[in-house]
Structure 1
Amino acid sequence: MSRAWCYLFLAIVAEVSSVVVMKLLSREAHWAGMLLMYFTIGLSFTFMALALKKIALAVAYATWESLGLLAVAAIGSLFFKEHLSVMQFIAIFLLLGGVMLVNIAENEHRES
């Protein structure tokens, strides 16, 4: 795995962390939690910027948002007891399929 993809993975982890912190803060906001949330958002964008040096914007953004959504949906379901409807499962499945197609198309474009 290239360094750029590692940066993208770290951007996703930081983004998901910030969203989880936001959810926790929705109950009762503390200044330390707010600082953590802003720090992880900044970290996510910093890693994303590093990833974009080598990964095409469309590929990076689609991957970042889709895998982030998948992780947030799983965390919401497992830890916050939020339930996904059948339609939401289908939408996530289609989104992941779209990201795979964007990545395949980028690889084919690079090879030609």
Structure 2
Amino acid sequence: MTWLYLILAIIGEVVGTTALKASDGFSRWGYGGISILAYAFAFYLLSIVLKTMSVGVAYAIWSGVGVAFVTLIGIVVFGQKLDVFGYLGIVLIVSGVAVLNLLSGSATH
């Protein structure tokens, strides 16, 4: 159940961040409201995850996967551009998350 909650928390964070961008500095209140609700959902689920997973690992996975997805959404939906170092940074973040999940025994406590 912990991993399901973490995945849902990541989805909430990605939805919240995407809606935050779409809110245009909260000048579009519908998107601003979605952002607030999605972040509340994400933080609630993350708090449940932290009962059984170490905070450093949980946060690394939550933020790392979130960064990768939000970057992809920024490129596809908002037409944002990255240079080669931006892509390299994203690859390093995703690689770090993969190392934590595949090689480290620190994922749960």
**TM-score, with structure 1 as normaliser:** 0.85
Structure 1 portions without partners, runs of 5+: none
In structure 2, how many angstroms separate the alpha carbons of the residues matched to 1:108 and 1:69? 19
Q: RMSD value over aligned CA atoms?
A: 2.1
In structure 2, how many angstroms separate the alpha carbons of the residues matched to 1:108 and 1:77? 30
Structure 2 portions without partners, runs of 5+: none
Q: CA deviation at 1:55?
A: 1.6
In structure 2, how many angstroms separate the alpha carbons of the residues matched to 1:53 and 1:10? 16
Which amino acid is the alignment partner of residue 73 of structure 2? Answer: I
Q: CA deviation at 1:36?
A: 1.8
> Measured at CA, do residues 77 and 15 of structure 1 come closer, stay the same or move farther in structure 2, by a change above 3 Å?
same
Aligned residue pairs total 108
Partner residue, 1:76: 74
Q: CA deviation at 1:97?
A: 1.4
Partner residue, 2:32: 34
Q: CA deviation at 1:45?
A: 0.2
SS in 1 for 2:79: coil
Larger radius of gyration: 1
